[in-house]
Amino acid sequence: MRPNKLGVHIKCKDLERSKEFYEAFGFSPIFAYGSDKHRAGFKDINTAPEKYDGIVYEVEGALLEIANGHIAVKPGVFCETVESSKISLMIDVESVENVKKVAQVKDYQIAADIREFYWGTREIVLRDPDGVIVVFREKIV
């Protein structure tokens, strides 16, 4: 067996807040599903009807899906905030300074300010609207 694609699915309390967060950092949707009203906001990508709303993003072959429902997940899960930093997303970017500027303008929670690491990255850590740890990494030469 050989895995051929990695994806993460985030169960959101507030899909619009999560959409705004990820799109503020350059994520572009490739697929959306849900109600007619929700899908009407996506003119240039494929959509499908579903009982709950969701959006799929692709970054360099990896998928990030955010949704306010799921057929295999109990509804209460979507009301929870992620409290632990046990799992985090890592996103490579050209400039962590730009990430910090966006975070400050949008008043997003900066969990750890920009720091340089000996393995060759500068990183800033944010929490998304559901508390998910998102590490933005800039490769340094």
* pLDDT tens digits for range 113-122: 999 999 999 9
pLDDT at 81: 86
Task: Look at the domain 81-141 and name its fold.
Answer: 2,3-Dihydroxybiphenyl 1,2-Dioxygenase; domain 1 (3.10.180)
Hey, which bits of the chain come out as E strands? 7-11, 29-34, 46-49, 54-59, 62-67, 88-92, 109-117, 121-127, 133-139
79 in helix, strand or coil?
Answer: helix
Distance from chain centroid for Cα 18: 7
- Retrieve residue 22's tokens: 């990820």
Task: Dump pLDDT digits (tens) for 85-94.
Answer: 899 999 999 9
The answer to whether 18 touches 66, Cβ cutoff 8 Å, is: yes
| Residue limits of CATH 3.10.180.10 in the chain | 81-141
DSSP state of 70: -
pTM to 2 decimal places: 0.93
Phi/psi region, residue 104 (left: phi>0; alpha: psi -120 to 50; beta: rest), is alpha
